[in-house]
Structure 1
């Protein structure tokens, strides 16, 4: 593709993102600021259409971008715009270090508010073990297990026990487990317990087994943890509002979540912001959707992903820094929360 075609494609996509209407050669001539005749522009547009970057919509003489056109645009033609100072300040104040669950919920809402689309945040679906545990005696047959996950999330589990454990024994058991198994996955602990339990005192081994079972339950509870904010915004987006069947499919995607979780998991294995454009990837179940996603971290490890879900006709140059900054702020908040 020569430079003239690149400029015209960039101009067409930028105009379509703003206006939402098929772009004709006369409009493109004015918007691109190239000194080309309408006939020359039509010829270039015909070439772009032949290569699958733009397409006709119905009988209109104008063209619209295709997923392939959007992909070329975001990969090599896009000029990322920094967020204004007001938005950056709003994000920094909203994502302060506190309960990790509140940070995640706030991040989803913030992304939705700033983008006017849907904000999504998911925790990584893996058994990361624990960072710290405590046992607290509640009664002769009840013990409270306090389990802190690697990302700082606190899980409380009530344990029904068959004997009365003194506070000193509970403290000793917690110290032993924290010293020898913190950071090890619960599945790995369970595997090792088969050979190591025989070497432990009976009271410690019983508490340890109960802690592992409770930890695995907590990991399963978080397995499909995803926060989606602003899904109702799609009702007001012309690309979706005029097609009830498309809206139903979209809300089914938000409700079922399996496809979204698969995509979010895939993004956790990549560095930086990833852009998935509907129609080009099996991970995006709707051709009209684009998803801008980035991983976030705690203690240097990826613990989840977040991003914006919107129509393919979105302002990518604004969404990319928005998602990138949010991921960095969430990571910083989680790290501060662990201190």
Structure 2
């Protein structure tokens, strides 16, 4: 997998969690792994008798109960009901994900499905289809945070809206069109809009605004006679305001209906999750945090304030542009009872596909 490991496992808290593993003998770790895997599959508390019937388990239910009691004292299991069944706590899930879970690779069928569904012309369509494909395979809601486009430009044009505002119309090398609102210098005549557009087109055609920024500003200083002061002011504003990221990140959400499947008694929690998803800025902030790591990051329940009520989980990975700059994040959100061993590599592979296709 890209990054080699979960990026969320690279902090001081990881070392503290790993110290728990040293307190657990081989049998305890094995039973803990089996219990978590069973819980993630069924969503139900797991009892000692269930574990004793598992393949390769050669200890009695009584011994298993003792181990489960010890793990409960460690804070990695809890008993949600009066029954003897246990479920992993958020702390336990974090320990499982960072130190015990074995992560594989997407199957060939999954790879083909992601590549076929995501392979679309146009950046906006690509991201939307990638989100839909990931949501369909994971049966979760998928999320993509993307920065405003910084692809090589084919054409730039300023279109006046009123005396104080204009649209900067950007057409990139794939034909995608993006409009950004900018302020006009006071008293700008119509002819200055055309002169400013022509000047920018001569400098940035085939390059991104960020790549051509310095040269544009240098040319303005070197060729003072080519543009009047108001046109030059508009060019400077355009370069500053239509650069990458100036429009803020955008959020794409697909597959929310998947969260209702099998909700059962958790319907109230899923409804709460819907409300949390609607707080888009909070989701954007959370996913932006995934840019800090090389690989996949997992956020569990109350580890993030946004999901403190629904107790949900987010699995996210960054994707990059042709210069290997991180430009966005792809991920999924769902109940903490996700099949992390399967979801993590699917999110990682989707980020890899998006990275490859947006270059």
TM-score (norm 1): 0.81
Check conservation: 2:203, 2:215, Cα contact below 8 A: no
Unaligned runs of 5+ in 1: none
Give the aligned partner of residue 137 of structure 2: 114
Helix, strand or coil: the match of 1:119? strand
Alpha carbons of 1:39 and 1:166: their partners in 2 closer, same or farther (altered >3 Å)? closer
Give the aligned partner of residue 20 of structure 1: 43
Give the Cα separation in 2 of the matches to 1:4 and 1:274. 28
Is residue 331 of structure 2 the alignment partner of residue 307 of structure 1?
yes
Alpha carbons of 1:77 and 1:180: their partners in 2 closer, same or farther (altered >3 Å)? closer
1:225 Cα deviation after fit: 1.1
Which aligned pairs between 1:1-339 and structure 2 lie closer than 5 A? 1-31=24-54, 33-96=56-119, 98-124=121-147, 131-132=152-153, 134-135=155-156, 145-147=168-170, 154-156=177-179, 162-164=189-191, 170-176=197-203, 182-183=209-210, 196=221, 199=224, 201-203=226-228, 204-209=231-236, 211-212=238-239, 215=242, 219=245, 222-238=247-263, 241-243=264-266, 245-282=268-305, 284-286=307-309, 288-299=311-322, 300-335=324-359
Give the aligned partner of residue 20 of structure 2: none
1:98 Cα deviation after fit: 1.9
Check conservation: 2:142, 2:253, Cα contact below 8 A: yes
Report how many aligned residue pairs link the two structures. 325
Check conservation: 2:130, 2:350, Cα contact below 8 A: yes
1:184 Cα deviation after fit: 6.0
Unaligned runs of 5+ in 2: 1-23
1:235 Cα deviation after fit: 2.0
Give the Cα separation in 2 of the matches to 1:38 and 1:137. 74
Helix, strand or coil: the match of 2:252? strand
Higher alpha-carbon deviation: 95-104 or 7-16: 95-104
Give the Cα separation in 2 of the matches to 1:270 and 1:287. 25
Check conservation: 1:259, 1:285, Cα contact below 8 A: no
Helix, strand or coil: the match of 1:33? coil
Alpha-carbon deviations, 1:216-250, whole Å to 9, x = none? 7x955x42410111112222233xx4255423321
Alpha carbons of 1:106 and 1:259: their partners in 2 closer, same or farther (altered >3 Å)? same
Check conservation: 2:122, 2:174, Cα contact below 8 A: no
Alpha carbons of 1:249 and 1:93: their partners in 2 closer, same or farther (altered >3 Å)? same
Alpha carbons of 1:124 and 1:144: their partners in 2 closer, same or farther (altered >3 Å)? closer
